[in-house]
Structure 1
Amino acid sequence: GYDKVNQLRHVRFFGDIHGMVEHMRKHADIIRPKFEMVEDVFAKNLEGLGIGEWTKPNGGYFISFDTMPGCAKSVVAHCKKAGVKLTAAGATFPYHKDPDDKNIRIAPTYPTLDDLKTAANLFTLCVKLVSAEKILSTKTGEDIKELDEAKPEEVMAEAM
């Protein structure tokens, strides 16, 4: 059945519902600046470009970011190459299968504010890069991903 010992620990720690609410306020005071900073970076770097949308949560521990369709996995991969570890693209979907490959769950609670600011700026740069590749690929019919994976000298040889 239920873990009565753990329930007792919670009752003793929080005392009552007011104790729990006060404890959660402390959590909010710690993580609110992180969410606000990520929102500021996203707005400054991406707002109005039409290449991404994100939630502005009022509570909770995640920001849900939607890239252009077909771009989420590539954004996560570019971030990983640059040293920023993100939750796998599509993690919010059953079996991690996002049919549009556009959702990324951002968890800004753990890093320091400085590290988070660097990561958020890098994330927005990757969103811009992958979105530009997608738009160019759509307009030119070229497979930009092949160019992205090729060695620079191979790309230059083909261009000449």
Structure 2
Amino acid sequence: MASVTLKGNALTTIGNLPTPGTKAPNFSLTKNDLSTAQLSDYSGKKVVLNIFPSIDTGTCAQSVRQFNQEAAELENTAVLCISKDLPFAQARFCGAEGIDKVEVLSDFKDGNFGKAYQVDFADGPLQPLHSRSVVVIDKNGSVVYNEQVAETTEEPNYKAALEALINA
């Protein structure tokens, strides 16, 4: 289990993120049109997984905005913003914010993504939402970078994630 905090209070996740050098676990997530997206759909592309508790919080919303602005401009790259929010809430947010360069995906149906990537909170007030994390996957499907943000209310290290993406 990974240890993180929420406003200084200790929380744990159900496990640890996939480590660099390992094959990224496949997943099935729900798109805004209620169709299914799988990691295999992005085969041959570099992929950023921006994982967070809820798009309706300031820090989570900012991470979607930031990745929409920065990483989405890179070639042969898919930026997937993943939470357990309903696809309708994700679509509403993206429409209101003009978010159009990243894809928001929901793990609301069965939570298998959270289990595969070990990001579900195991305890605390956000259980069973996802811990704020970033995973970068190269075009061959291998993890090249991961970050589980130590304090849930803080943003991820965009610079490190983007450098890993560029070098992947």
TM-score by length of 2: 0.30
Which structure dedicates a bigger proportion of its chain to strand?
A: 2
Which structure dedicates a bigger proportion of its chain to helix?
A: 1
TM-score by length of 1: 0.31
